Chain A
């Protein structure tokens, strides 16, 4: 028989949220982070400075939020390619309020979050209730939203209160507010994946949708909810971006559709869904941001950065495939 007392603590630690459980993959990424760190320190004397590290933290905020959204969607067995258009539209929308005082700013906040969640829910509803593959649905909405954003303003426009820009640039003992917010967001998400019904449903659906359905999981509602959350997180990223730029750029989301997938895959989450979590994504975001930063400081052309990023993606997936074959 199972020894209950002995098991309970170790199993609890071992299982401490599937979402943040350490896998071999994570150690590989940590190793790579150290390697990049060594490379950066060797290649540029500006790299291994506190100032630079805080800068990297600043630079990764938007990507981290979007990658978190993508992680949730991919865990559920879906994919969200709508960020390119969605971020652009949300930026233009938020900046369009020209919020100069606290009251308008609060309104702009609420409206932007609501719009993001609403657009995400549309993605989810079409996927869940009509049954169109999310790849196609979100590709379609992304194109539509890009068009809408550019129709509204073809150039960056609008504005936001200066004091909000200050918040976006503010730091606590050198650490950017944005980074602290992202860390809290990741911890909160990991907690919810572990302790909420929604979290378990997400894994269940991604793992085996038919089995989840006969187990009584409300598959469609859960799907709508996950795309809605994805849209909500996109709103947060958009608000942050407007805070940083001071204007709403309709092209702010360009490239984020594919860039959001990279950290999820590199972080070891299965593209088919069901397996993985936010720890891998967090580590991968750090790795990719540090790498870009190091190469920048070493004056390596960004074209090389693309090549290196591509190699990392393929290697990461090869490791995963090799592992699942065993």
Chain B
């Protein structure tokens, strides 16, 4: 076997007291593609940032071409020949395609001025060689997300890179675009390029990679040739448990009592009127592609979006709904964007927890300063939240712990109906399992729960009944014994549906892995 071109030796990294990576051994050889797997927060992105000079190691070192290197900035890594497509986009929406690709390597004339003509020619040549069809002069802000991702990939491949690191490159690509990307990767690999491929999609890993390394909690738990692995083996190395352990049992006490009823609800995002009932203690899933109207349906029930039609809670009509009225009546909603409209990122964990029930437990004159901490200590214990100090800004917590605090915050309102939009997005598998268990316990205690999710496996594993939406229409309701991934997907992305978004299908199929 050839020698490694890029390797991590005994690599550790801590941020303050948090040890993110410890004693990582990782290598990639020319002409191979190594899959880097792990849950969210396992340390994959940190490892990549260490190997590209964005971060510096706390101990251990990086070897490039068998020499110890100490890159202080990303540009040093790029210059040496390590190209990277970051998970968070590094394309600049204000610049043109050409400027993005050749940023910091813009062709210049003898006066040091940018040679615009040559820039255009070079860009066209590169794009043509990669079979990417884009206008070099177009502003990237005007491109679709997938096109911007292609710009990002072209940018990474602009230099004669020896190593190409792709951090979840296919997350925003359609099936066709992903196939195209794989073609590019394979042809580059045959020319001796070493590839590191980070993805949550196991099918892709088996298709494109030759080797694999699995990280769990900052430690490499398993590594070897991909042919020695199957799905189950990767997942257990990532999670440390079997898939079946993640979901709790279904409803123990099904009832016929209707808690929430929608009659002829409709708005501009779902223009076919929807009738729906939600039983006491039931977990009802709403499946469908992104853009099928799921989120808008939830927002309409909760009064965050205007809609015509009627909503009844325990037989009483809720007219002129607003979020605050719904909350008071007993409907609480978890939004899909934790950072955008869920958390108060700069506020403390405790203040986030009490933010929708600030005065609860306080006397009529003032809110005792220690009340917030006292109240939130309870939820921390109940949901097993990992937090050093309740006074820390909530943005310091991991996604799973943030989500537990948000869930606890909603429960403080003592809702009868809980609407959860993507309850486990960006949450690691361990915390997911805990959240599922709590949801089932709550349902068994009589809470009715509406779950919207793009993760098919979540809908299948958690819900008692599943409604499927397609293009703003409720097209099917599946009873417990009818729920399966295949069935939901074939309904959600039915052939006769006019505009099926392939990206969304892929996300749907991505599942928990």
Do B88 and A196 touch (CB < 8 A)? no
Do A203 and B88 touch (CB < 8 A)? no
Do B92 and A195 touch (CB < 8 A)? no
Q: Does A213 contact B (CB under 8 A)?
A: yes
Do B103 and A215 touch (CB < 8 A)? yes
* Chain B residues positioned under 8 Å from A200 (CB to CB): 95, 99, 103, 106, 114
Q: Does B133 contact A (CB under 8 A)?
A: yes
> Assuming A1-B133, A216-B104, is B114 touching A203 (CB within 8 A)?
no
Interface 0/1 of B84-95, CB less than 8 Å to A: 101011111111
In angstroms, Cα B427 to Cα A285, docked, is: 51
In the complex, which residues 201-242 of chain A have their Cβ closer than 8 Å to any Cβ of chain B?
203-204, 206-208, 210-218
> Assuming A7-B135, A211-B89, A215-B103, is B114 touching A196 (CB within 8 A)?
yes
In angstroms, Cα B113 to Cα A2, docked, is: 26
Closest to B155 in A: A215
Q: Does B60 contact A (CB under 8 A)?
A: no
A232 CB → nearest B CB, Å: 19
Q: Is the interface of A mostly helix, strand, loop or mixed?
A: helix
In angstroms, Cα B106 to Cα A194, docked, is: 12
* Chain B residues positioned under 8 Å from A217 (CB to CB): 103-104
Contact among B91, B116, B134 with A12 in the assembled complex (CB-CB below 8 Å)? B116
Do B92 and A11 touch (CB < 8 A)? no
Do A195 and B113 touch (CB < 8 A)? yes
Contact among A14, A194, A196 with B112 in the assembled complex (CB-CB below 8 Å)? A196
Q: Does B46 contact A (CB under 8 A)?
A: no
In angstroms, Cα B135 to Cα A11, docked, is: 9
Interface size on A, residues (CB 8 A): 31
In angstroms, Cα B86 to Cα A267, docked, is: 34
A21 CB → nearest B CB, Å: 10
Do B94 and A274 touch (CB < 8 A)? yes
In angstroms, Cα B353 to Cα A203, docked, is: 40
A15 CB → nearest B CB, Å: 5
A127 CB → nearest B CB, Å: 19
Q: Does B73 contact A (CB under 8 A)?
A: yes
In angstroms, Cα B91 to Cα A274, docked, is: 13
Interface 0/1 of A167-205, CB less than 8 Å to B: 000000000000000000000000000111100100110
> Assuming A197-B108, A204-B103, A208-B93, is B73 touching A216 (CB within 8 A)?
yes
In angstroms, Cα B75 to Cα A280, docked, is: 34
Contact among A14, A18, A214, A274 with B54 in the assembled complex (CB-CB below 8 Å)? A214
B82 CB → nearest A CB, Å: 12
In the complex, which residues 92-112 of chain B have their Cβ closer than 8 Å to any Cβ of chain A?
92-96, 99, 103-104, 106, 108, 112
Do A210 and B92 touch (CB < 8 A)? no
Q: Does B410 contact A (CB under 8 A)?
A: no
Do B94 and A4 touch (CB < 8 A)? no
Q: Does B120 contact A (CB under 8 A)?
A: yes
Q: Does B275 contact A (CB under 8 A)?
A: no
Interface 0/1 of A248-273, CB less than 8 Å to B: 00000000000000000000000000
Do B137 and A11 touch (CB < 8 A)? yes
A-B contact count (CB 8 A): 85
In the complex, which residues 409-430 of chain B have their Cβ closer than 8 Å to any Cβ of chain A?
none
Q: Does B327 contact A (CB under 8 A)?
A: no
* Chain B residues positioned under 8 Å from A213 (CB to CB): 74
Contact among B86, B99, B134 with A214 in the assembled complex (CB-CB below 8 Å)? B86
Q: Does A275 contact B (CB under 8 A)?
A: yes
Closest to B93 in A: A207
Closest to A191 in B: B113
B48 CB → nearest A CB, Å: 11
In angstroms, Cα B120 to Cα A197, docked, is: 15
Q: Does B78 contact A (CB under 8 A)?
A: yes
Q: Does B258 contact A (CB under 8 A)?
A: no
In angstroms, Cα B96 to Cα A274, docked, is: 12
Q: Does A301 contact B (CB under 8 A)?
A: no
Do B114 and A195 touch (CB < 8 A)? yes
Do A216 and B137 touch (CB < 8 A)? no
In angstroms, Cα B92 to Cα A274, docked, is: 9
* Chain A residues positioned under 8 Å from B74 (CB to CB): 213-216
Q: Does B124 contact A (CB under 8 A)?
A: yes
In angstroms, Cα B116 to Cα A61, docked, is: 32
Closest to A14 in B: B137
> Assuming A197-B108, A214-B74, A216-B104, is B91 touching A2 (CB within 8 A)?
no
Q: Does A8 contact B (CB under 8 A)?
A: yes
In the complex, which residues 113-140 of chain B have their Cβ closer than 8 Å to any Cβ of chain A?
113-114, 116-117, 120, 124, 133-135, 137
Do A195 and B116 touch (CB < 8 A)? yes
Do B94 and A197 touch (CB < 8 A)? no
In angstroms, Cα B99 to Cα A275, docked, is: 15
* Chain B residues positioned under 8 Å from A4 (CB to CB): 124
Closest to A21 in B: B139
Closest to A10 in B: B137
* Chain A residues positioned under 8 Å from B75 (CB to CB): 216, 218
Do B95 and A211 touch (CB < 8 A)? no
Contact among B94, B124, B134 with A203 in the assembled complex (CB-CB below 8 Å)? B94
A77 CB → nearest B CB, Å: 11
Do A204 and B114 touch (CB < 8 A)? no
In angstroms, Cα B115 to Cα A194, docked, is: 10
Contact among A196, A212, A218 with B92 in the assembled complex (CB-CB below 8 Å)? A212
Do A275 and B94 touch (CB < 8 A)? yes
A-B complex: 8 closest residue pairs judged by Cβ atoms: A216-B75, A11-B137, A207-B94, A211-B90, A274-B94, A216-B104, A195-B113, A207-B92
Give 7 A-B pairs besides A8-B117, A214-B54 with Cβ atoms closer than 8 angstroms: A15-B96, A195-B114, A200-B106, A212-B103, A214-B86, A217-B103, A274-B93
